[in-house]
């Protein structure tokens, strides 16, 4: 939608209604992801901030079409060709450039997992401030790397072959490089393939066999007590940073010797 003219902007929340006329007929200059938030910038300098949390969802449809849905329509951005509809989300704001800079969530974000290069991710893994933090907790911390969520955490650690209780301190440089590769590769694959982090051929084969989305999507996430796709060992479910985490105890051995 970037570089197109907004023909109509709709906000469900009363406190945002005053921006409907301000933003309508303005040009959308940029739509960017910052971690898990989306910023939609307009040529007047204002930007719509939105965060889906666990339940928000965007739908792109033809302009002036509104699909039947029981969900709450919170925001509609319409152009001549397409409409972007945001359902259910509650975390929506309109911000000036100054407010973006000072924003509580945005200003505290670490490097974005999809926009930053691998060198920046490697640097984060080697930065002294994070060396003693366990991967399980580190990967949910958006100050560390922005955009990794609960299922990517389990999937990345599986692909890198690292136990959730390990820390950067416990890893050699080559292990950290392997982890940086996994962070970028798994995140991009998930972005491009609708959240499928499993091997794509394997996922396609399982899908063809009639398996459900939940049965073919992931290596380990939400597969507690099921066989590891690589070694057949039962996947372990645990808790880290108050959220559930999954790993294979054989493919992801706990190594605590310092390098």
Partner DNA sequence: TCTTTATGGTGAG
Partner DNA sequence: TCACCCTAAAGAT
Q: Which residues bind DNA (CB under 7 A)?
A: 35-37, 51, 53-55, 70-72, 87-88, 90, 104-105, 137, 140, 142, 149-151, 195, 222, 241-244
Q: Which is nearer to DNA, 109 or 182 (CB)?
A: 109
Q: Which is nearer to DNA, 122 or 217 (CB)?
A: 217
Q: Which is nearer to DNA, 28 or 198 (CB)?
A: 198
Q: How far is the CB of 29 from DNA (least distance, A)?
A: 24
Q: Which is nearer to DNA, 4 or 12 (CB)?
A: 12
Token pair for 5: 């003219």
Calpha distance 90→108 (Å, rounded): 20
Q: Which is nearer to DNA, 70 or 98 (CB)?
A: 70
Tell me the C-alpha to C-alpha distance, in Å, between residue 90 and each of 52, 53, 54, 121.
8, 8, 11, 31
Q: How far is the CB of 68 from DNA (least distance, A)?
A: 12
Q: Which is nearer to DNA, 209 or 242 (CB)?
A: 242
Q: How far is the CB of 1 from DNA (least distance, A)?
A: 22
Q: Which is nearer to DNA, 120 or 133 (CB)?
A: 133
Q: How far is the CB of 197 from DNA (least distance, A)?
A: 10
Q: How far is the CB of 39 from DNA (least distance, A)?
A: 14
Calpha distance 38→248 (Å, rounded): 34
* β-pairing verdict for 243-247 and 236-240: antiparallel
Q: How far is the CB of 191 from DNA (least distance, A)?
A: 10
Q: How far is the CB of 103 from DNA (least distance, A)?
A: 9
């Amino acid at each position: 939608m970037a570089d197109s003219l907004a023909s109509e902007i709709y906000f469900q929340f009363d406190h945002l209604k005053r921006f409907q006329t301000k933003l309508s007929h303005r040009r959308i200059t940029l739509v960017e992801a910052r971690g898990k938030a989306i910023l939609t910038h307009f040529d007047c300098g204002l930007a719509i901030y939105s965060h889906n949390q666990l339940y928000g969802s965007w739908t792109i449809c033809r302009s002036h079409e509104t699909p039947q849905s029981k969900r709450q329509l919170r925001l509609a951005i319409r152009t001549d060709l397409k409409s972007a509809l945001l359902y259910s989300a509650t975390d929506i704001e309109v911000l000036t450039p100054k407010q973006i800079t000072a924003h509580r969530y945005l200003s505290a974000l670490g490097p974005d997992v999809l926009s930053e290069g691998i060198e920046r991710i490697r640097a984060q893994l080697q930065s002294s401030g994070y060396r003693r933090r366990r991967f399980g907790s580190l990967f949910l911390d958006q100050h560390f790397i922005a955009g990794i969520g609960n299922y990517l955490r389990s999937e990345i650690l599986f692909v890198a072959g690292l136990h959730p209780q390990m820390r950067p301190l416990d890893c050699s440089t080559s292990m950290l490089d392997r982890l940086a590769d996994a962070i970028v590769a798994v995140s991009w694959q998930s972005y491009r393939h609708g959240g499928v982090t499993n091997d794509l051929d394997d996922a396609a084969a399982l899908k063809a066999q009639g398996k459900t989305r939940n049965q073919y999507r992931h290596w380990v996430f939400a597969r507690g007590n099921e066989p590891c796709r690589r070694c057949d060992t039962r996947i372990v479910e645990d808790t880290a940073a108050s959220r559930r985490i999954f790993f294979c105890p054989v493919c992801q051995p706990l190594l605590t010797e310092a390098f």
